[in-house]
Amino acid sequence: MSKQTFALRGTICYSNSPTELSITENAYLVCENGLCAGVFTELPEKYAGIPCTDFGEELIIPGLTDLHLHAPQYTFRGTGMDLELLDWLNTITFPQEARYEDTDFAREAYSIFAEDMKKSPNTRACIFGTLHVPATEILMELLDKTGMKTMVGKVNMDRNGSPLLQEESAKASADATISWIEDTLTKFENVTPILTPRFTPSCSDELMKRLSEIQKKYHLPMQSHLSENFGEIAWVKELCPATHFYGEAYSQFGLFGGDCPTVMAHCVHSSDEEIALMKKQGVYIAHCPQSNTNLSSGIAPARRYLDAGLHIGLGSDIAAGSSLSILRAMADAIQVSKLYWRLADSSVRPLTLEEAFYMGTEGGGSFFGKVGSFKEGYEFDAVVLNDSTIASPLKLAPKDRLERLVYLSDDRNISAKYAAGKKIL
Ligand SMILES: [Zn+2]
């Protein structure tokens, strides 16, 4: 038996389906060469004698995936929350992101970010950097050391930025992107590049065309923003008069799913046509409830996306969202879905704990392949949660314990974390 084979023992919890949890107490979760080999109430004969860490009653859940966040914005999370998207970008975000031209500042800021990411319950993430290549490479180097499996993007923006935060031309942006990809494509064990046009208002048609050629050459996935805020959507309509809906501003360049695996943040106000195209093209939706609340963007119809079978996961959207934990994002997703049901449309049932848990694990994890579950053959990403410090005189069932952790936990409740079979915390 390979020495990379081991077991964890505890209360093991994962999604059987978007609506059903599998919970097994006093069970063994076996990792074989980085992959899940199954959950067993008794260790099978063939695994006799493998190393086993006994976590007692602690909960063991799949590693969580943050499908959308901005590393350079971590410095100012929790501040400037009284603006809507476009004013927030111009007033707070762009001036702060411009600072990453300074690599000393980038290293200091990204060290704090990487350290906190490591302590979070997340094992996977799709992350925006800034438009600066050296700073983005520093971010990738620091994240690589955490052992988390991440995709990181050098941002493209050649219009509507600020004097200090905009690339000179479409060509300059594309050239910088190619040199960044060449530098980083195979450099890291745990971090890979992802194409990152900031959003349509930041990228000229010529830049999108060039990014499309780059995507075809390197077969990279892509991340961006979609239909987040009314002002933004109206602006895209003005900028792209030939398109019928926002998503077409990406799809007309082949940057919207299909052969270009794509994750789009928000989709708060997507039209029926846009939703149909996302479904057809297999576009992933990063639902970012805390961000959508903070920037008064609205409530994305997550229930509709789930029921229609679209790919949907959760994002923290740091720093429009304030909290890194995808457990917190699960609680936020449930809470905003209740407001949507009560205030906007009483025919749209709120999300359940099971559904929010699914979105935070396998829903978003599947953007990385077989990730986010303990079903056999999935990559072994696991988080061990100790809820004994959240005191209660009640004897709680495992599902209630999980729910309490979704609503009440912080990093202090994490006992251990594994990504792709390696212990990283
Ligand atoms: Zn964002």
**Residue 105 has what pLDDT?**
98
CA–centroid distance, 336 to ligand 1, in Å, is 18
CA–centroid distance, 226 to ligand 1, in Å, is 9
- The pLDDT of residue 191 is above 60: yes
Q: Mean pLDDT for the chain?
A: 97
Cβ atoms of residues 384 and 60 within 8 Å: yes
CA–centroid distance, 281 to ligand 1, in Å, is 21
- The pLDDT of residue 300 is above 70: yes
CA–centroid distance, 4 to ligand 1, in Å, is 37
The amino acid occupying position 48 is A
pLDDT single digits (tens) 248-290: 999 999 999 999 999 999 999 999 999 999 999 999 999 999 9
CA–centroid distance, 34 to ligand 1, in Å, is 31
Burial class (CB in 10 A: 0-12, 13-18, 19+), 349: middle
Q: How confident is the model at residue 368 (pLDDT cuts 50, 70, 90)?
A: very high
pLDDT cut 70: percent of the chain above it: 99
**Strands across the sheet containing 284-287:** 222-226, 262-266, 284-287, 311-314
Q: What is the DSSP string of 23-47?
A: EEEEEEEEEETTEEEEEESS--GGG
CA–centroid distance, 264 to ligand 1, in Å, is 9
- The pLDDT of residue 8 is above 90: yes
- The pLDDT of residue 410 is above 60: yes
CA–centroid distance, 249 to ligand 1, in Å, is 17
Q: How confident is the model at residue 4 (pLDDT cuts 50, 70, 90)?
A: confident
Question: Which whole number is the average pLDDT over 118-134?
Answer: 98
The amino acid occupying position 121 is P
- The pLDDT of residue 413 is above 80: yes
CA–centroid distance, 112 to ligand 1, in Å, is 19
**Residue 1 has what pLDDT?**
53
Q: How confident is the model at residue 201 (pLDDT cuts 50, 70, 90)?
A: very high
Cβ atoms of residues 194 and 68 within 8 Å: no
Q: CA 144, 145, 146, 148 torsion: positive or negative? A: positive
- Say whether 234 sits in a helix, a strand or coil: helix
- The pLDDT of residue 234 is above 70: yes
- The pLDDT of residue 240 is above 90: yes
Q: How far apart are CA 186 and CA 83, in angstroms?
A: 40
**Residue 2 has what pLDDT?**
56
Burial class (CB in 10 A: 0-12, 13-18, 19+), 51: exposed
Cβ atoms of residues 349 and 318 within 8 Å: no
- The pLDDT of residue 59 is above 90: yes
**Residue 339 has what pLDDT?**
98
Measured CA to CA in angstroms, residue 182 lies from 103, 144, 176, 177, 217 at distances of: 20, 17, 10, 9, 12
Model-wide pTM > 0.95: yes
CA–centroid distance, 250 to ligand 1, in Å, is 16
**Residue 87 has what pLDDT?**
95
Q: How confident is the model at residue 3 (pLDDT cuts 50, 70, 90)?
A: low
pLDDT single digits (tens) 154-186: 999 999 999 999 999 999 999 999 999 999 999
CA–centroid distance, 329 to ligand 1, in Å, is 14
